[in-house]
Structure 1
Amino acid sequence: MKRVLTGAVVAAALLVSVQARAQGSVTLYGIIDTGVDWESQAAKAPGQTSASGSAIRMTSLSSALPSRWGLRGKEDLGSGLNVIFELESGFAPNSGALQNGNRLFGRSAWVGLEAPYGTVRAGRQINMTYIALMKSTVLGPALYSLAALDPYLPNSRSDNTLSYFGELHHFVLGATYSTGRDAASAAGSSAVNGGAAFNPGATNCPGGVAGNSTACRQITALAGYWGQQLGLQFVYDQLRGGPGLLPGSVSYDPSMPLLLSSSSAKTTRYMVSGYFQLGDFALRGGAIHRMTTTTTDYQTNIYYGGASYMLKPDVELDGEISRIATSDQKNANYYVMRATYFLSKRTSIYTMLGFMQNNSRASYSVGAGNYTVAGAKQTGVLFGIQQRF
C-alpha cells in the first residue's frame, strides 16, 4: 500500500511538472488600439456623387494597429527541433465584435515545426505578401496606410495553408501554398455574388473542389536579403477564383468587389521592396504591380516610400507618401504623417494626419474602409491610444 501511495505521489508530481512546463511554454499576448477619427468630404456608401459632409467616429478595423489577442506556444523536442503554434483573434475595440470575417481566430490558427533549416507551418496564417509589407512600410496596417489604396494588403492571409520560411546568413526564402484561400463569407444584401457582401477579410473561396485543384488556390513566395542595416526582397503572389461558400455564389477579389467566378480567373502580384536602417533613422519603400484576369484584365501599380525617426527615446515620427495608378485611370496620391509618444514600454498615444488627393475618377478614402466621392481632396485626423500586453 505504501508503494502504491508513493507511486501515486510521484506520478502526481510528474504530472504537475509536465503541466507547469506546458503552461510555461504558452504566452498570452495582445494589443488594444483605438482612436477617434475625423475625415472631411465623407460619403455614406460607395458611388455617391456628392459628399455627405465630415464624419467623426471611433475606429474599429484598425487605428495605428489592429486590436488583437492571442496564444503562442513552443515545445522543445531536442536536437534543435521545436513544435510551435499560434492562435490569434482580431476584435473591434469600439464594439467588441470579431474581425477577420467574424472568425474567433481569424488572424491566425496554425501549428508547425521549427528546425535549424527553417520552419514549416500548417493552418490559417499570414502569407509572404504580408511579411514583406511589414518589412517595407513605416506605417504598417494602420487606418491611414496602404490599406486605403488596396484592402488586400493588410488582409493578406490564407486559409488551408502549408508554409516554409528559412533564413541563412541574412538571406531569406519563404513560400505558402493554399488549397482554399478564404473559407469565410460575409452575408449581405447585394444582388450579385449570391448575397455575399464585399469584405476583404472574407472573400468566399473555400476551395476543395473535386476535380479542380486550382479552384481558390493561392501561392505566395518571397526571396530576399534582410541585413541589419539594409534589406531587399521580391514577392510573388497569385490567388485564384472559384465557387463560393454560399449556394450559387462565387468568390471575389479581396482588393475590390470584382468577381472571380472560376479557377481560371486570378489576381497576380509582384512586389519589390526594401529598407535602410541607420541608428534611429529608417527609410522603407517599394512597388507593387497587380493584374486581375477575368473576362478582361485590370491592373494597378502602387508606389510607396516612407521614413521613420526616433526623435527622443519616447518620441517617434513617421511619414509616408504613396501613389496608385490603375488601368482605368483611377489614380491618387496619398500623404500620411504620424507622431507617437511612448508613455511606457507597453503604452503609447499618437496622432495621424492624412491627405488623399484623388483624380476626377478616383474615390479612395483617407481612412481604410471608409468612403468618399470621386475627385475628393480629403483630409483626415486621428488621435489614438495603444496598450500592449
Structure 2
Amino acid sequence: MKKVLSTAVLATALLVSVQAHAQGSVTLYGIIDTGVDWESQAAKAPGQQSASGSAVRMTSLSGSLPSRWGLRGKENLGAGLNVIFELESGFAPNSGALQNGNRLFGRSAWVGLETPYGTVRAGRQINMTYIALMKSTVMGPALYSLAALDPYLPNSRSDNALSYFNDFHHFVMGATYSTGRDAASSPGSAAVNGGATFNPGATNCPGNVAGSSTACRQITALAGYWGQEFGLQFVYDQLRGGPGLSPGSVSYDPSMPLLLPSASAKTTRYMVSGYVQFGDLSIRGGAIHRMTTTATDYQTNIFYGGASYMLAPDVELDGEISRIATTDQKNANYYVMRATYLLSKRTSIYTMLGFMQNNSRASYSVGAGYYTVANAKQTGVLFGIQHRF
C-alpha cells in the first residue's frame, strides 16, 4: 500500500510540475551521479579486528554529489514579496532506493517568503551548518569528503524548522530553530542506538513532547561576510536529545552511535571557516569543534583546507587535506583529490583518489558510509559520471 501511495504522490507531483512549469512558476530539476568505487582494507561491519580485503562497489550514498530530484517554485506577490517552496528527494542511483531516512522528500520540504528584509522558511531544510560548509570545502558532500570524518556534516538538515536568512551588501546572517530535529528513525535492533540501526539521516528525535520545551530541539546560527574575493563565517549549532517515537527508544547523535537519551544530553558545534578567490583558483578551509555532553563529555576537532582550480574551461582539479582529533585519541589524517572533465554544461565524468591515515585507535573509512579497521592506511579510487537536468 505504501508503494502505491508513494507512486501516486510522485505521479501527481510530476503532473503538477509540468503544468505549473508552463506558467513559469515551478522548475523540475535533479542530479544523477554514480560511479564505481574501489577501497583497500575494507571491513564488512564496524568493530572488525582485521580487514576482509579490498572492495569494489557502485556508489549509493554519494559520488561527487548525492543524486536527487526536486521541485522548486516561486510566485511574485508584488511589493518585493515572493512565495517560494522546495521539495527535494534523495535516491540511491545503484538501486533506486530512497535516501535521507527513507523519506520521499528527505532532502527538503519547505515553503517560505522572500522579503526585502530577508527570507523566512518553514519545514524540513538544510541548516546553517550545511550552508557554511558548502562555502568552505571544495569536496562538498562527495563520497570522499569530510563526511568520512563526521557523517552529520552532509546530513545537517532539520525537521520542524523555522529559518531566517539575509544577505545585506555581502554581510550575511541566518538562524534555524527546530522543535523536533529528526522525526525519522531507522529500523534495527542495535542496543547502542535504543533499538535503531545507526543512520545519520534518521536519528529518532521527533521532539514536540508535551511538558518538555527542549526535547529534540535544535538551534543553528550563522554570521559572516561573503565577498567575491574572500569570505569569513562563524557558525553555532546545538542539537538536543530526547525520547524516540517507539516505547523505550531514544535518540542518538548523528555523528556516531552515541545515545542522547534526554533533553539535557546535547551536541554543540562551533565552526569558523572561509574562502579566498584568485581568478580560477579557490582556496577554502576551516575548523569545527564539537562537544557531546551525556553521562560524560566527548569532543572532536576537525581541521580542513583545500583548493579548487579550473585548469581549462572543461577541466577542474580539487584537493583537500583534513585532520580529526578526539578525546579518546581516535585521530586520523585524510587526503583527497578529484579531477572533473565537463563533457557539456550538464554532464561530467570524474575520478577521485582518497587516502585515510588512521592511528592505532581510529577506523575512519576513506569512503563515507563504509567500514575499515583500526590503524588502517586505506586507499580509495572512484570513477564516476554525473548528469544534471
TM-score, scaled relative to structure 2: 0.94
Provide the C-alpha distance between the structure 2 equivalents of 1:173 and 1:79, rounded to a whole number of angstroms.
Answer: 23
CA-to-partner distance for each residue in 1:311-337, whole Å, 9 max, x for gaps?
000000000000000000000000000
The equivalent of 2:168 in structure 1 is 168
- Rounded to whole Å, the distance in 2 between the matches of 1:374 and 1:356 is 11
Q: When the two structures are aligned, how many residues end up with a matched partner?
A: 371
Alignment partners' CA distance in 2, 1:20 and 1:148: 40
Looking at structure 1, the residues matched to 116 and 143 of structure 2 have their Cα atoms a distance apart, in angstroms, of 37
Q: Secondary structure at the match of 1:129?
A: helix
Q: Which residue of 1 aligns with 2:321?
A: 321
The question of 1:215 aligning with 2:215 is answered: yes
Describe how 1:39-54 pairs up with structure 2 within 5 A.
Answer: 39-54=39-54
Q: Is the Cα–Cα contact under 8 Å of residues 193 and 257 in structure 2 kept in the other structure? A: no
In the alignment, structure 1 residue 330 sits paired with structure 2 residue 330: yes
Distance 2:103 2:274 in 1: 32
CA contact (8 A) 1:349 1:386 kept: yes
- Provide the secondary structure at the position in 2 that maps to 1:147: helix
Contact 1:274 1:286 in 2 (8 A): yes
- Counterpart in the other structure of 1:90: 90
Alignment partner, residue 121 of structure 1 = 121
Shift of 1:23: 3.8
| Distance of aligned partners of 1:307 and 1:296 in 2 relative to their CA distance in 1, 3 Å threshold | same
Name the residue aligned to 1:258: 258
CA contact (8 A) 2:21 2:27 kept: no
- AA aligned opposite 1:87: L
Q: Matched residue of 1:308: which SS?
A: strand
The one-letter amino acid of 2:283's match is: L
Question: Where does residue 4 of structure 2 map in the other structure?
Answer: none
Deviation at 1:21, TM superposition (A): 7.8
For the 8 Å contact 2:271–2:289, the answer to whether it is kept is yes
| 1:280 matches 2:273 | no
- 5 Å-filtered alignment, 1:101-180, equals 101-180=101-180
Aligned 8 A contact 2:88 2:106 in 1: yes
Quote the residue 1:371 is aligned against: 371
Q: Could you say if the C-alpha distance between residues 72 and 268 of structure 1 is closer, same or farther in structure 2, counting changes exceeding 3 Å? A: same
Letter in 2 for 1:181: R
Spell out, residue by residue over 1:70-127, the C-alpha distance to the aligned partner (whole angstroms, 9 max, x if none).
Answer: 0000000000000000000000000000000000000000000001110000000000
CA contact (8 A) 1:194 1:246 kept: no
> Structure 1 79/251 Cα, relative in aligned 2: closer, same or farther at 3 Å?
same
C-alpha distance in structure 2 between counterparts of 1:280 and 1:372, whole Å: 36
- SS of alignment partner, residue 214 of structure 2: coil
* 1:20 shift after superposition: 5.9
- CA 1:335–1:21 in structure 2 vs 1: closer, same or farther (change >3 Å)? closer
Other-structure match for 2:353: 353
In the TM superposition, what are the counterparts of 1:11-26 in structure 2 within 5 Å? 23-26=23-26
1:22 CA drift (Å): 7.5
Residue 6 of structure 1 is matched in structure 2 by none
> Contact conserved, 1:289 with 1:302, CA < 8 A, in 2?
yes
Identity %: 90
In structure 2, C-alpha distance between the alignment counterparts of 1:266 and 1:194, rounded to whole Å: 16
Are the equivalent residues in 2 in contact too, given 1:315–1:342 (CA < 8 A)?
A: yes
For 2:251, the aligned partner's letter is S
Partner of 1:234 in structure 2? 234
SS, match of residue 352 in structure 2: strand
In the alignment, the residues of structure 2 paired with residue 247 and residue 27 of structure 1 have an alpha-carbon distance, to the nearest angstrom, of: 41
The one-letter code matched in structure 1 to 2:186 is A
Tell which structure's C-alpha radius of gyration is larger.
1
Which residue of structure 2 lines up, in the alignment, with residue 15 of structure 1? none
Describe the SS at the equivalent of 2:130: helix
**Given residue 250 of structure 2, which amino acid in structure 1 is its aligned partner?**
V
For 1:267 and 1:190, the matched residues in 2 are separated by 21
User: Mean Cα displacement is larger for which, 190-199 or 305-314?
Assistant: 190-199
Which TM-score applies when normalising by structure 1? 0.94
State the distance in 2 between where 1:125 and 1:245 align: 21
Residues 193-229 of structure 1: CA deviation (Å, up to 9, x unaligned): 4421110000000001111010000000000000001
Unpaired stretches in structure 1, ≥5 consecutive residues = 1-18
Q: Give structure 2 stretches of 5+ with no counterpart.
A: 1-18
What's the secondary structure of 1:92's corresponding residue?
A: coil
